Chains A and B, each alone.
Chain A
Amino acid sequence: MAGKYYNLDNMLKPKSVAIIGASQSPEKVGHIIMQNYLNVGYDGDLYPVNVSAEGLILGKKSYKSVLDIKKPLDLAVIAIPAKFVPQSLEECGKAKVKSVIIVSSGFSEVGDTGLQEQIVSIAKKYSLPVLGPNCLGVMDLRSRVDTMFLPTFKIDKPSIGGVSFASQSGAVGSAVLDLISHENFGLSKFISYGNAAVVDEVDILNYLGHDPDTKVIIFYIEGVRRGKEFVEVAKEVTKLKPVIMIKGGITPAGSSAAHSHTASLAGSYAAYEAVFEQYGFIQAKSLDDMLYFAKIFEAQPLSTKKRIAIITNGGGVGVLAADSLYLNGLQMAELSDDAKKELRKVMPPIVNMSMPMDMAGDADDKRFGAAMEVLSKDPNVDALMVISLFQTPGADSRVAAMIIKYGSEGKKPIVVVSPGGNYAEVHNNMMESSGVPVYPSPEDAAKALAALVKYSEYRERMGSLNAEDKNIKKSK
């Protein structure tokens, strides 16, 4: 199966890179890309290429053509005006460059299909994996590769982790990258693939599906070019790791915008929904959901069972949480008698043993800890929703630390609901950085849990519920 699709290793883990269009002028895209390579500490060989260059570019010897480099090249990044791209690509082919990213725009997305077809035929001639055109390229935090032409100071870079993100749109891509770092989960790879002239969704899904560093895939697509192959690859990949899909262009208005955007034949949304539903994708309907789903899948174990225990230090939010469980097809756990007995010993008399369990506004780390200790062992509880309102007198950093202790055990899924301002935010960041997903509302937390359960059920049906363990080990 893997042989049918492009291997993107040379693109994401290159030992040598040529930057075509590198320039001394700071406003040029080629300059920013080159500067980024230097900024992130890329330790392979870097060769600036510029037809009119003499001497050094950013301290490196420059070349007029890739053909002049005469060293093995894993990757060439092309960032020059569209009309010069075919010739440059031809030279990459002749120089036996192993992969190419075309950042330049001005192809089928502006109606110039002829120019794009030239690229496709050159790529075919040399069996060359070509990403783009009209894309941001790739970022791989582990191999310190970053072809993006976004100045580093304008975008927060996420930490290294298990989520890989592929995006047809460069703009959605860069905005989401910025948000990912805000949501505190780690990134493995980012691939912006633009017009998908050569390397397309199917190649990328296949590559990330088999990439040991990728534990969760998030995918922004506007259209798929090879529907049947896409389904074939999806069947393989979704039984191994969660793939969260967000599809742009689901309405007629969005669809026509997407068409002119990346010029792909979108197909009908009903078909996409059917494919997502049937082949185990997790469908997100907003960017928020996409990120909220990603963080539960990155850090928490799967569960096919859906009896959720809710503990809270605020009654009202607990009631909303109970509603949101029901609305998302989940159930409220009914505690076992043993669990109730244990809890009775440690909770003050005012605390009622029914769900949602309101531990009162003065609940401190000891009360949170005691509750999580009991619930994490209760066989009647499949997952926990912990509501910690940091506005209350009892909640402080010790509560956050206690939640981290139980939330990173990895036995039952735990989600935290913590709405609030700066003080809450500090603690939310602490928890998220330790792998405990935090949500601003019970509704968001319940949606994420429901997505986790639905996907777990799919895995169970495919007979691969426990395959995940292998994946986790591989990704560390």
Chain B
Amino acid sequence: MGTLMDYMDAHALLGKYGIKALDAAYVGSAKEAVGFAKGRTIVMKLISDKALHKSKSGLVKLSLSGDAKIEGAYSELVKLGEKLKPYKILVQEQVSNGTEIIIGGNTDPQFGKLILLGLGGIYVEVFKDVSVRLCPITEYDANAMIESLKSKQIMLADERNGKIVKNLLLKVSEFLVKNQKITELDLNPIILHDGTYDAVDLRLIGE
């Protein structure tokens, strides 16, 4: 099965390859969470091996602005955490709306590292509109991955997105090739907005 890499470790490792995930930190108290927010709107998540679907089990608190809301969310998560020990509480900046995409990585027993691109959000499981390539990919491959999606018009509604996605794919491919021991990668979702992107959630699984 492999082991899930600690969120902040994964955050740092991907950062070395220019894959920047949203500003995040672990907090040990409501006060620390308030300190992290510095007036921004934040998201708070409980992370535990025993909780697989964070959003389904109420372990993600969204749109927290102001000290009171942040402190309230923190104590709620601590209560839920009783049954999920050991756990950590992560805070992240909340991002604006945009187009959600998924970039994934996997290891095929025969061919090695695969990279996947798909439109994110609630329909991904239904339409299975994804494109897959073997790593390392070339610039041509990255463009072809985008082109072959039925949902490319949604993804490219903002024309700046094409270049962002292409560059991200190339970086993720390089990351996967250079980190053979990482067997699975999940950047889900990545939010494209205003000519930039935010990797909102990430998951690396090692051997």
Contacts and interface: CB of A to CB of B under 8 A. Distances in A.
B134 A275 contact: yes
Interface residues of B, number: 14
Contacts of A272: 111
Contacts of B71: none
Interface size class of chain A, counting residues whose CB lies under 8 Å from the partner chain: 20 to 34
A278 B112 CA distance: 14
Max chain A CB contacts within 10 Å: which of B110, B116, B134? B110
A273 B132 contact: yes
A228 B111 contact: yes
A109 B110 CA distance: 19
Contacts of A156: none
Contacts of B141: 278
A227 B87 CA distance: 40
A274 B132 contact: yes
A224 interface: yes
A271 B144 CA distance: 16
A265 B109 contact: yes
A122 interface: no
A9 interface: no
A350 interface: no
B88 interface: no
Contacts of A224: 110-111
A461 B109 contact: no
B133 interface: yes
A239 to B, nearest CB: 14
Interface string A307-347: 00000000000000000000000000000000000000000
Given A227-B108, A267-B108, A274 B114 contact: yes
A260 interface: no
A268 interface: yes
Nearest to A265: B109
B146 to A, nearest CB: 14
Contact of B108 (A226, A268, A278): A268
A274 B109 contact: no
Contact of B133 (A223, A226, A267, A274): A274
Interface in A207-240: 223-228, 230-231
A288 interface: no
B140 interface: yes
A277 interface: yes
B114 A271 contact: yes
Interface string B109-136: 1111010100000000000000011100
A461 B140 contact: yes
A267 B109 contact: yes
Given A223-B110, A227-B110, A265-B110, A271 B134 contact: yes
A91 to B, nearest CB: 34
B111 A231 contact: yes
Nearest to B135: A274
Contacts of A227: 108-112
Contact of B134 (A225, A226, A231, A265): A231
A270 interface: yes
A277 B133 contact: yes
Max chain A CB contacts within 10 Å: which of B114, B132, B137, B140? B132
Contacts of B112: 227-228
A426 B40 CA distance: 79
Contacts of B132: 270-271, 273-274
A472 to B, nearest CB: 28
Interface string B8-19: 000000000000
B109 A278 contact: no
Max chain A CB contacts within 10 Å: which of B109, B111, B137? B111
Interface in A371-398: none
B140 A271 contact: no
Name the 3 nearest CB pairs between A and B, nearest first: A227-B110, A267-B110, A227-B111
28 contacts: A223-B110, A227-B109, A227-B110, A227-B111, A227-B112, A228-B111, A228-B112, A230-B110, A265-B109, A265-B110, A267-B108, A267-B110, A267-B111, A268-B114, A270-B132, A271-B108, A271-B110, A271-B114, A271-B134, A272-B111, A274-B111, A274-B114, A274-B132, A274-B133, A275-B134, A277-B133, A278-B134, A461-B140
